[in-house]
Structure 1
Amino acid sequence: MHQSSTTPTPTPAGRFRRLTAGLLALPIAATGLLTVAAPAHAAPVAGPPIAVSMGDSYMSGEAGRWMGNSDTFTGSRSGTDRAYTGSGYDATQVYGSTSGGCDRSDSAEVLSAFTAAGALNIACSGATTANVLRASSGGQSFKGEAPQADQLAAIAATRNVNLIALSIGGNDLGFADAISTCVKDYEVWYSYCQPSQQAAINAKMTAAMTNVGTSIDEIRAVMAADGYAASDYRIVLQSYPSPIPRSSENRYPETGWSRTNDGGCPMWNGDEDWARDTLVPQIAAGLAQVAAAHGAQFLDLQNLLQGHEVCSSSASLATSTQPPTAATSEWARFLTTGLTQGTMQESFHPNYYGQLGLGRCLALIAAQPAASNYTCRNTPGQDTSGVYLNPLP
């Protein structure tokens, strides 16, 4: 069922919102790590409520540079490259000063969900749970920034935080490594990645989920120290969307090189089906259990990109005669070597359209009771306005 038409629709972010003092400049200090000592408060700070996003690349906005995908390697890449200046490429137009590092996109989920004045994004591409915990709890700085919970402490001490969106655990599990291995096994070794990578994920699952739970507890401790009661805010823990389709939904044949040269999805059918229908659901199930055990709201995103994945038969590449659109294009970045288009770290992440879809999911769940959990999906053939929630048991 679609949500009521009265549910607010998020406003997509436009050009990069400059990190202004006291609002978006909190993560990075000019002379080194941010000083995050924050005074304790008897109650949350008064003022307009804001949402804060924390975690890894699926939250920071990695790949937000791209509006769909195209095999065109020059110019605007058939209108897909938002970093094109008319004479060259400037990724800071999308990622600002975090380009090449945290890659916080102007279309990142929290910015797509809420207005610029109502959102802060401190997530960072490549982050693990160790980069979320406070330094006093053993947390680690990352890419020149203090641990994210320490950054949150400074924010919550001066702003009225009412929602914290968290995407974390994928890098603890080695999710990107698993996909990379599947690509190599297709292109180099002509073997399946599923047996070895399933074993690797299984070996890391218990520790990774424990660490996700610890991250949630750490966020609770930070908020309590800043004077917040548990009822003053909500934590939304989200899972990961599958960037690749099932083999039956791939528009390219398994044989030949079209999946590599044209589609940017070089994986065997068996590995595609494993990643789509076993790995991604397994991670989602683990995160759902963690959310329930630690009092967080859960947002299941495993099916959000359905029909818009890389190489999906329901989507297409942009061309000089067919510009990208949210209804027809892929919502995830295809595999790139970094030599011709963008950077490799953008591969297999939700792109600009995917970020807008994620933002709508977050805005929709924020309008629902905090005790309810949801799965988020899109409507085939529609743009991101067709994204909707279904309640989870």
Structure 2
Amino acid sequence: MRRSRFTAFTTSLLLATGLALTGAATAQASPLAATGGYVALGDSYSSGVGSGSYISSSGNCNRSTKAYPYLWNAAHVPSSFAFNACSGAKTGDVLSGQLGSLSTSTALVSITIGGNDAGFADVMTTCVLQSDSACLSRINTAKAYVDSTLPGKLDSVYSAISAKAPSARVVVLGYPRFYKLGTTCVGLSETKRAAINDAADYLNTATQKRALDHGFVFGDVRTTFTGHELCSGSAWLHSLDLLDIGESYHPTASGQSGGYLPALTGAA
């Protein structure tokens, strides 16, 4: 993918503030390994931003050998593997640049998409830099987009996947809740943390509905990430990271292997 919109968000956050601001899940070999190929689509949560070990040939897409698609491929050895997810991708990017590997022989497709369309980067920028009321207002704007516009964009992506890979099992993975509530934690107010979690739930609910309506499977990572949110003391997500600003608010390697991989394995 092109330069990550999540990266752009954190870079703007840094400038605006003026500051200098894992056990992999095991499973029995899937029958898909013997019957067809696996294609991994989506945004930075699928490419593995935040988990390190980036594949140099992936460029700004920042695909990682510690990302859940790579780990699933290593564990199950499908007949072919195409790792097309790209940091910063929106639904339009999936449609224009990620579907070429799909075919009638594709047996499994995974995807995370919709967060960039819904304006996650701008939501976080607003919530980190501005007041509680401004944060809530921006989240309400994002929710309105999720209600009015995102379903149609998801439908376009899902329909295109079905058309190109009609025999594939398609697993649509959601996004984790970001914060553990009710704890003492430096940073955003409890009001903002609760609103951000609610926004993640709202996006997941809309995504799950569209996925199920297309006959796909929804992999809910909120369960696997429970107890590993920011402010939990055992986070599988990066908070604002001044040493590597682009990894902020992305899963760590443990989040990929302990949060996303089990969700895919259970749904595949």
Please state which band the TM-score falls in when normalised by the shorter chain. Answer: 0.7 to 0.9
Q: Which has the larger radius of gyration?
A: 1
Q: Which amino acid aligns with 1:128?
A: K
Q: Which amino acid aligns with 1:233?
A: A
Q: Which residue pairs with 2:126 in the alignment?
A: 181
Are 1:200 and 2:141 an aligned pair? Answer: yes
The secondary structure found in structure 2 opposite 1:170 is coil
Provide the identity percentage.
Answer: 28
Matches within 5 A, 1:116-135: 117-118=77-78, 119-133=81-95
Q: Which residue pairs with 1:210 in the alignment?
A: 152
Q: What are the superposed Cα offsets for residues 300-343 of structure 1, whole Å, 9 maximum, x if unpaired?
A: 2233322112221xx2xxxxxxxxxxxxx421112123xxx22x
Unaligned runs of 5+ in 1: 11-46, 66-92, 134-138, 140-146, 224-229, 253-258, 260-265, 316-328, 367-393
The secondary structure found in structure 2 opposite 1:172 is coil
Among 231, 237, 246, which residue is 1:332 paired with? 237
Matches within 5 A, 1:155-304: 156=103, 160-185=105-130, 190-205=131-146, 206-223=148-165, 230=166, 232-246=167-181, 248=182, 250-252=183-185, 259=186, 266-276=187-197, 278-304=198-224
CA distance in structure 1 between the aligned counterparts of 2:150 and 2:169, rounded to whole angstroms = 22
Are 1:98 and 2:18 an aligned pair? Answer: no
Q: Is the 8 A contact 1:111 1:120 kept in 2?
A: no
CA distance in structure 2 between the aligned counterparts of 1:239 and 1:64, rounded to whole angstroms = 18
* TM-score of the superposed pair, with normalisation by structure 2: 0.80
Alpha-carbon distance, 1:174 to partner:
0.5
**C-alpha distance 122-275 of structure 1, shift in aligned 2 (>3 A):** same
Q: Which amino acid aligns with 1:127?
A: A
CA distance in structure 2 between the aligned counterparts of 1:284 and 1:125, rounded to whole angstroms = 19
Q: Which residue pairs with 2:98 in the alignment?
A: 148
Alpha-carbon distance, 1:113 to partner:
2.1
Which structure has more relative contact order (CA 8 Å, sep 6+)? It is 2
Q: Is the 8 A contact 1:60 1:124 kept in 2?
A: yes
Q: Which amino acid aligns with 1:104?
A: R
CA distance in structure 2 between the aligned counterparts of 1:9 and 1:63, rounded to whole angstroms = 27
Matches within 5 A, 1:3-18: 7-8=27-28
Q: Which residue pairs with 2:262 in the alignment?
A: 360
Q: Which moved more, 1:52-61 or 1:193-202?
A: 193-202
Q: Is the 8 A contact 2:139 2:196 kept in 1?
A: no
Alpha-carbon distance, 1:298 to partner:
1.3
Structural RMSD (CA): 2.5
Q: Is the 8 A contact 2:40 2:111 kept in 1?
A: yes
Matches within 5 A, 1:350-389: 350-357=251-258, 358-366=260-268
CA distance in structure 2 between the aligned counterparts of 1:9 and 1:269, rounded to whole angstroms = 43
Q: What are the superposed Cα offsets for residues 334-376 of structure 1, whole Å, 9 maximum, x if unpaired?
A: 2123xxx22x22111111000102112211221xxxxxxxxxx
The secondary structure found in structure 2 opposite 1:62 is coil
CA distance in structure 2 between the aligned counterparts of 1:208 and 1:309, rounded to whole angstroms = 26
Q: What are the superposed Cα offsets for residues 205-233 of structure 1, whole Å, 9 maximum, x if unpaired?
A: 1211210111000111222xxxxxx3x32
Among 38, 52, 61, which residue is 2:39 paired with? 52
Larger helix percent: 2
Alpha-carbon distance, 1:104 to partner:
0.6
Unaligned runs of 5+ in 2: 1-24
Q: Is the 8 A contact 1:63 1:347 kept in 2?
A: yes
The secondary structure found in structure 1 opposite 2:224 is coil
Runs of 4+ in 1 over 4 A off after TM superposition: none
Q: What are the superposed Cα offsets for residues 125-146 of structure 1, whole Å, 9 maximum, x if unpaired?
A: 100010111xxxxx3xxxxxxx
CA distance in structure 1 between the aligned counterparts of 2:180 and 2:110, rounded to whole angstroms = 26
**C-alpha distance 279-191 of structure 1, shift in aligned 2 (>3 A):** closer
* TM-score of the superposed pair, with normalisation by structure 1: 0.56
The secondary structure found in structure 1 opposite 2:149 is helix
Q: Which residue pairs with 1:63 in the alignment?
A: 50
Q: Is the 8 A contact 1:110 1:120 kept in 2?
A: no
CA distance in structure 2 between the aligned counterparts of 1:196 and 1:106, rounded to whole angstroms = 38
Alpha-carbon distance, 1:281 to partner:
1.1
Q: Which residue pairs with 1:107 in the alignment?
A: 66
